[in-house]
Copies of this chain bind each other. A is one copy, B any other.
Amino acid sequence: MLSIKLDAGSERPLIEQVYLLICKEIEQGHIRPGERLPSRRELAEQLKVSTTTVETVYEHLLEEGICESRPRSGLYVLDAHPAPAAAVRLPEVLVRWDFGTGAMDPAQFPYSTWAKLMRIVLTEQSDELLRTGDPQGSRPLRREIAKMIQRLRGFDVDPERIVLAAGTDILVAILITLIGRERLFAVEDPGYSRARRILIAGGARIAPISLTDGAINVRELYQTGAGAAYVTPGRQFPTGQEMAMDGRERLMRWANETGAYVLEDDYEGEFTFSDSPLPPLAALDTHERVVYINTFARTLAPGLRISYMILPGALRDRYCELYSACSVPGFEQSALEKFISGGYFERHIKRMRQIYRERRNCLTEHVARLHLGELHRNNAGLFELLSVNSGMSSEQLVEKARQAGVRLTALSDYSILPDRAEESGTVLLGLAGMDTEQIRDGLETLKSAWQID
């Protein structure tokens, strides 16, 4: 048991104080390499803080590589942990409530099923898992994905058109090489800033296109002479609007007339809460203009690193010329194949829909009860837009939240052109990363951080 206590007069956030205390104990040799830290409960009781606070600090120590976790035992200081100087550097304010749109909730991952399937894969000891394998990803997995898309998203897919990669970033980088840098890539503005960054890093020239009723402005697409457009029709990111049917038809007409490619990012397609969602552009594609992009990062876990796209024939042929390896390991491919074919994937999606529905309801209810602001209503997805009438700018809202341990982003973070009046004071609240209790606590923390009465 350590004989440490917190300085009652300190103005540092509690989490930082606890973190620095532990680092000091390690630095001064009171807890030595190989020794176990006190349990979360013990330390919480001793310091008179919540176990959540200790939990957060311990997670940070793990991330920093100062400690390791041993199952059913606890946290141990590592032999070769970073030098104390590095270890006691002030951490940023720790995130206790993550309303980030990319957040995930590990508690919901079907760990035992995944582990069971992975064990089967390991037992089979197939030689094929060790080789470079099919450059598009294994055929059996692609067949399962095609059938799953047909069932969940309602359109027919030729497995020979599917290409897997270790994340959407890599898919986008590949797409630039397939489509060619001579084409101008249109992106939605506001839009998915990470795709924009990868396009620019990949050497593509981009044209930010404004939105009209939540859909990319097709007139501007003609005007700029874009040869490709990266869009999120299922749920425009970040405004949250679904692209209407006539918008979809206009967009497809533009692609057909000009021979441009439409890159359809269907990032939350499995989690629409609409009773009658519109068909994806890929289902409306009569002239092989659409590249359909989706990921298992949202439906399973980002750490698995599995995304996929469905290519028009010409791009698929070019892919086969250029690429000789798929970036997803054989083990993961085989486990995912079994996960989908065994029906686990769709059962998981069904379960998650229910959970996300509850979280949405919780969010709606507590935003109203706490008078936090106005939620933008829509039928889909894992984040909501909240307009806060506190007189604070988006930046101030995000900064105040950060200081209180709440991570969220502002609508304006995703815009290229600055200062759209309608975006001011609007933030995105992702609900995939927390359970209902945490959502409620997070919203209450926001209320006090933003000083809303």
Contacts and interface: CB of A to CB of B under 8 A. Distances in A.
Contacts of A201: 177, 322
B328 A305 contact: yes
Interface in A119-149: 119, 122-134, 139-140, 143
A143 B328 contact: no
A391 interface: no
A127 B173 CA distance: 28
Contacts of A129: 303
A85 B392 CA distance: 66
B127 A305 contact: no
A302 B322 contact: no
6 contacts: A69-B124, A78-B140, A111-B125, A119-B119, A131-B301, A305-B328
Contacts of A410: none
A297 to B, nearest CB: 8
A323 B169 CA distance: 9
A65 interface: yes
Given A169-B325, A194-B324, A303-B330, 19 more contacts: A63-B139, A65-B139, A107-B127, A109-B130, A111-B125, A115-B125, A128-B303, A129-B303, A130-B303, A131-B302, A132-B303, A166-B329, A167-B325, A170-B170, A177-B202, A302-B325, A304-B329, A304-B330, A332-B332
Contacts of A102: 132
A308 B68 CA distance: 23
Contact of A143 (B80, B106, B330): B80
A305 B326 CA distance: 8
Contacts of A124: 69, 71
Contacts of A84: none
Contact of A106 (B115, B119, B131): B131
Given A304-B329, A327-B166, A63 B128 contact: yes
A20 interface: no
A25 to B, nearest CB: 21
Nearest to A68: B140
B65 A140 contact: yes
Contacts of A134: 63
Query: How many copies, total?
Result: 2
Nearest to A169: B325
A37 interface: no
The list of the 7 closest CB pairs from A to B, nearest first, reads: A106-B127, A203-B203, A303-B330, A166-B327, A65-B139, A130-B301, A115-B122
A124 B74 CA distance: 12
Contacts of A122: 114-115, 118-119
A202 B115 CA distance: 37
A104 interface: yes
A258 to B, nearest CB: 23
A130 B306 CA distance: 12
B329 A305 contact: yes
A62 B303 CA distance: 29
B119 A104 contact: no
Interface in A183-218: 194, 197, 201-203
Contact of A130 (B106, B131, B139, B140): B106
A304 B132 CA distance: 8
Interface in A97-119: 102, 104, 106-107, 109, 111, 114-115, 118-119
A134 B63 CA distance: 9
B71 A123 contact: yes
A123 B115 CA distance: 8
Interface string A306-318: 1000000000000
Nearest to A334: B303
A174 to B, nearest CB: 9
A181 interface: yes
A7 interface: no
Contacts of A140: 65, 68, 78
A345 interface: no
A333 B331 CA distance: 13
A64 interface: yes
Interface string A395-429: 00000000000000000000000000000000000
A166 B305 contact: yes
A77 B301 CA distance: 32
Contact of A305 (B62, B111, B301, B327): B327
